[in-house]
Amino acid sequence: MPDIPLPTEPLPPPLPERAALFLDFDGTLVEIAPTPDAVQVPPTLLPALDRLAQRLDGALAVVSGRPMKDLDRFLPLPIVKVGDHGAALRLGPEAPVIGPNLPVPPPEWRARAAALAARFPGALLEEKAHGFVLHYRLAGPEAGEAARDLLASMVAEQPERFTLLAARKAWELRPRGVSKASAVAALMARPPFAGRVPVFIGDDATDEEGMAEARAAGGIGLRLQDAFGTPARLRAWLEEAVAQAAEDDASAGSGAPSAAPAAETGRARRAPPSDIPPPPKPSPEGAC
């Protein structure tokens, strides 16, 4: 009887030289949680991001749909952060939060969204500066259908100003004019990102915009599920990238040949990142 090959985990690519790294937060750097506040940040993630940002001369950004205050709470690091899908951008710990002039949903819309969340036990309204999210993970599919219909009716009232986004067990009302793609483009036009190879890693529909922008700029867009499998494997890859950079520095100082890239150590060599095909379009239920 022939041997049946066992399924293998995805083999992450090595980080390109002079990379500019863009990372989603929920579902990418950390596992999805039942509620936004229940997210757990592993203790090894913060030092890995801090060291890798230094190795990239600051060209590392977390690009999330979360408000900036959430990113500061979960990631208290002096790194570039993008919140609210590109509506808020901060280049450093002392830098101001900047962003385009965007519409704000009418108060009546927020009140209607809050009333819907109150109708379904477990539903949650997440407020943002220029929009809001209705989460139904703990409330069931009926709440999801009601949330979708309500937010779609709001967008229909002002379609030139707002759009509807599908997220993982959630529906989000977002202003038009910003996206993770616009955030990547804005950062790639300024130091320390300019002139580098953009690498965007995310797990959901909103991240596809950032991946597409990275590819359009000559870089790489990686869907977490295809390239890494899980957030834990991505975090290990980030730690390996830091360790490899330290080995390369030590080898350069001693004149010894450098070791194989960390992502390839002990494994068959992978095709260059530029050969990685665009990932398949994800299902509508992606994370913010």
**Are both 47 and 125 inside the same structural domain?**
no
**Are both 184 and 237 inside the same structural domain?**
yes
- Identify the active-site residue in 3, 24, 50, 203: 24
Kindly state whether residue 80 falls inside one of the protein's structural domains: yes
Query: How far, CA to CA in Å, does 267 sit from each of 85, 248, 262, 263, 270?
Result: 36, 19, 10, 8, 8
**Are both 185 and 167 inside the same structural domain?**
no
Range of the domain at 93: 19-100+179-275
Active site residue 275: no
Closest CA to 208 of 181, 173, 168: 181
Q: Rounded distance, CA 181 to CA 210, Å? A: 4
Kindly state whether residue 144 falls inside one of the protein's structural domains: yes
Q: What is the mean pLDDT of residues 39-60?
A: 96
Amino acid in position 112: R
Kindly state whether residue 9 falls inside one of the protein's structural domains: no
96: left (phi over 0), alpha (psi -120 to 50) or beta: beta
Cβ–Cβ under 8 Å, residues 50 and 84: no
Domain boundary among 144, 175, 206: 175
**Are both 36 and 54 inside the same structural domain?**
yes
Number of domains in the chain: 2
pLDDT at 18 over 90: yes
Total residues belonging to the chain: 288
CATH number at residue 46: 3.40.50.1000
**Are both 88 and 38 inside the same structural domain?**
yes
Kindly state whether residue 62 falls inside one of the protein's structural domains: yes
Helices in 36-140 by DSSP H: which ranges? 45-55, 68-74, 107-119
**Phi, psi for residue 54 in degrees, rounded to 5:** -65, -40
Q: What is the mean pLDDT of residues 117-121?
A: 97
Percent of the chain predicted with pLDDT > 90? 69
Q: Rounded distance, CA 15 to CA 238, Å? A: 9
pLDDT tens digits along 86-104: 999 999 878 999 988 999 9
| pLDDT at position 180 | 95
Helices in 35-176 by DSSP H: which ranges? 45-55, 68-74, 107-119, 141-157
**Are both 151 and 267 inside the same structural domain?**
no
**Are both 171 and 183 inside the same structural domain?**
no
**Phi, psi for residue 63 in degrees, rounded to 5:** -115, 110
Q: Rounded distance, CA 235 to CA 49, Å? A: 9
Domain boundary among 135, 158, 175: 175
Max intra-chain CA distance, the chain = 67
**Are both 76 and 42 inside the same structural domain?**
yes
| pLDDT at position 264 | 37
Cβ–Cβ under 8 Å, residues 65 and 172: yes
